[in-house]
Amino acid sequence: MAVRQVSAEIDSDLPGLVEALATSMTKHGLVELQVEAEGVKIQLKRGSPPAATTPASTGQICSPAAGTFFASVEGSPALVSVGAKVNRDTPVGFVKTPNEVLEVAANVEDAIITRLVTVDGQPVQQGSVLFETTKGG
């Protein structure tokens, strides 16, 4: 995801910037986004979905190490997206650490990706949630 440069004209385009950020949140399945530039801080949070729409059997795919998460090899499409069926050995992305690049496997059986929690190029900690899943059935 490209980072939008914020200029000195931020005040005049604030509604457009907020709309663009909200659209990006929806596109990437984010529930929270914080941007700070030139003394202006924008924090957007999306409410939790009603309990009735949350799948009964959910799981998470987490980062194996601290580093930077990448959803694909540069120039290639993401390895998985919402709706993708995954199994224990399905590669879902990569975490680049200072010393190595680790392939992240789904490590869940018979599941479907329901939400992308971490976007491409985002720093992560060991155990950070990258994706949410539900049982594939």
In this structure, are 67 and 41 located in the same domain? no
Domain that holds residue 34: 1-47
> Residue 19: in which H helix or E strand, if any?
helix 14-28
Per-residue confidence (pLDDT) for residue 2, from 0 to 100: 40
In this structure, are 19 and 75 located in the same domain? no
User: Model confidence over 71-89: pLDDT tens digits?
Assistant: 998 888 999 999 999 999 9
In this structure, are 38 and 57 located in the same domain? no
Residue of 120, 127, 122, 133 lying closest to 78 (CA atoms): 120
Distance CA 77, CA 91 (A): 13
Task: Specify whether the CB–CB gap between 13 and 42 falls below 8 A.
Answer: no
In this structure, are 63 and 106 located in the same domain? yes
Q: Can you tell me the mean pLDDT for 27-50?
A: 70
Q: Pseudo-torsion of CA 109, 90, 131, 53, nearest 10°?
A: -50
Q: Can you tell me the mean pLDDT for 21-41?
A: 74
